[in-house]
Amino acid sequence: MKNIYPSYRTACMRWLPPVPEHWNEQRAKTFFREIDERSKTGQEELLSVSHLTGITPRSQKKVTMFKAASYVGSKLCRPGDIVINTLWAWMAALGTSRHAGIVSPAYGVYRPHRTDSFNPGYLDYLLRTRAYVAEYIGRSTGIQSSRLRLYPDQFLDIRLLQPPRLEQDQIVVYLQAQDSRIARFIKAKRNLIALLLEQKQRIIDHAVTRGLETAVPLTYSNVEWLGDIPEHWNVALLKHVADVRFSGVDKHSHGGETPVRLCNYTDVYKNDSITEDMDLMRATATAAEITRLTLKADDVIITKDSESPDDIGVPAWVPKDLPGVVCAYHLGLLRPEPERVMGEFLFRAIGSARIAQQFHILASGVTRFALGKHDVKNAIIALPPIEEQKAICDWIAKECQPLDDAIARAKEEIKLIREYRDRLIADVVTGQVDVRNWVPNPDDLITEEDLVALGDDEEIDTDLENENDDD
């Protein structure tokens, strides 16, 4: 049976459950004020705002998109400041910073009147609970649900739950210990997923460069990195088997344009296929853009820009026509010539390690990397006859199914442990569980390395939304 407090009262903030009677509850403006200090050099540490891990150095994140060209004029923040992504508060993209650094000028930065009012760690946990997210949504304004903004006057009017400082400190120690255990579990599952993906990659690599028949005669491809291929295969440039189109459709909604759903960079980067049931961003596009970039069955989409060359040329396949879904910017759309190449085979080929390596080499840049249309058009693939392409795709699907199932199970286990963590945090920071007498044991050792695993491979890069936002 869980430990509870002796007495409770009704909370002032509508979404909170009954809270311990002796806990304080005051509007945020009692404890915080908005700060707008700007960087003159842009050289301070760049901080990222996550709906999962709060405020962390961006250098710790696996960022799949561009940084800004300059950070002069970014907002400064200090340890203990609350930082809120104004556009993504409804997704809990906020937290209490443990670092001095800079954040997007579109963010809200709030500094405590007194440093002893809150343990920053307690507030960091509290502010991302579902109860508070519900309050942000109710107080945000905007036409579209995905474009809601939480303005400073509304945030400062929200009531913050304030246990006595010693209880806050104990709550933070307890939750960090639980986080350390949860993070180690997640890390182990991610390591398993990485091994399964390596196995899957080896299966695909061999099939799309050597075929399925072990006894088939081979011939030199005349491409050093490709090596030998079956002698009845061809070597083809992408421009000879597919129409290559680059997109410039941004995420904004413009008057006079047609509403569409956008297939964005992260949709491609994190998924093998783009399907109707995906939760895609809504925006607008011109009639010409819709005609040229609406996704059709067998299209292949690739990432063409990134902060890392390893994240360029990542493909996704479109199995069925998707009326109303348009390819967004930072992406290239490959429309196969059906008599030459199957879309599914093209997707598998581009995703293979040896063929993808040419994109990594061709990508130009120092801090930003990009593929030009010429690079994509002149990329090389090994090309079997159409009938053999289908056989290879069917074989890959069959061989990879057990691996895909195991990966899905591991991801589901990570999802479930995250849900457990969310419930645990909510119960503890709102006083539904009394941890004042909890005593740590040797297994509760907390390390930064462990806690990094709490970040998600599928985190939404909310920083990108604001860097590209000119509203």
Comparing 309 with 408, the larger pLDDT belongs to: 408
Domain edges within the chain: 8-176+423-467, 214-383
Establish how many alpha carbons lie within 13 A of residue 346's alpha carbon, considering only the half-sphere containing its beta carbon. Answer: 34
In this model, does residue 61 exceed pLDDT 80?
Answer: no
Cα(352)–Cα(202) distance, rounded to whole angstroms? Answer: 8
Q: Binning pLDDT at 50, 70 and 90, where does residue 144 land? A: low
pLDDT given at position 470: 41
Q: Is the pLDDT of residue 471 over 50?
A: no
Q: Identify which has the larger pLDDT, 145 or 295.
A: 295
Write the CA distances from 470 to 89, 104, 106, 224, integer angstroms.
18, 12, 9, 46
- Looking at residues 35-50, what average pLDDT do you find? 92
Q: How many residues does the chain have?
A: 471
Which of 59-68, 215-224, 371-380, 459-468 is predicted least confidently?
A: 459-468
Look at residue 367 and tell me whether its pLDDT is greater than 60: no
Confidence of residue 305 (pLDDT cuts 50, 70, 90): confident
Cα diameter, the chain: 81
Would 8-176+423-467 and 214-383 be classified into the same CATH topology?
A: yes
Residue holding tokens 């991302």? 128
Judged on CB neighbours under 10 Å (0-12, 13-18, 19+), 287 is: exposed
d(CA 112, CA 81): 7
Mean pLDDT of the region 379-392: 97
Tell me: the pLDDT tens digits for 226-268?
999 999 999 999 999 999 999 999 888 888 999 999 999 999 9
220 band by pLDDT with thresholds 50, 70 and 90: very high
Q: Give percent of the chain above pLDDT 90.
A: 76
Pick the CATH number of 214-383 from 3.30.70.2190, 3.40.1350.10, 3.90.220.20, 2.40.50.100: 3.90.220.20
Cα pseudo-dihedral 122, 128, 134, 135, rounded to 10: 50
User: Could you tell me the pTM of the whole model?
Assistant: 0.86
Per-residue pLDDT at 468: 46
Residue 111 has phi, psi (to 5 degrees) of -110, 140
Which DSSP string corresponds to 349-382? HHHSHHHHHHHHHH-B-SSSEE--HHHHHT-EEE
pLDDT at 55 over 70: yes
Least confident of 343-352, 416-425, 433-442: 433-442
Mean pLDDT on 326-348 = 97
Query: What's the chain's average pLDDT?
Result: 90
Determine the pLDDT at residue 321. Answer: 97
For 391-435, the pLDDT digits (tens) are 999 999 999 999 999 999 999 999 999 999 999 999 999 999 999
- Element spanning 132, H or E: helix 130-139
Q: How many CB atoms lie within 10 A of CB 232?
A: 12
- List residues bridging with 55 in a β-sheet: 49
Helix (H) or strand (E) run with residue 413 in it? helix 386-429
Class of domain 8-176+423-467: alpha beta
Average of pLDDT values for 275-287?
Answer: 94
Query: In the block, which residue shows the tokens 């005593």?
Result: 439
233 phi-psi bin (left φ>0, alpha ψ -120 to 50, beta other): beta
* Cα 116 from Cα 118, distance rounded (Å): 6
Q: What is the mean pLDDT of residues 69-74?
A: 85
Q: Give the pair of three-digit tokens for residue 59.
A: 């250098």
Q: Which of 82, 96, 105 has the alpha carbon at shortest distance from 33?
A: 82
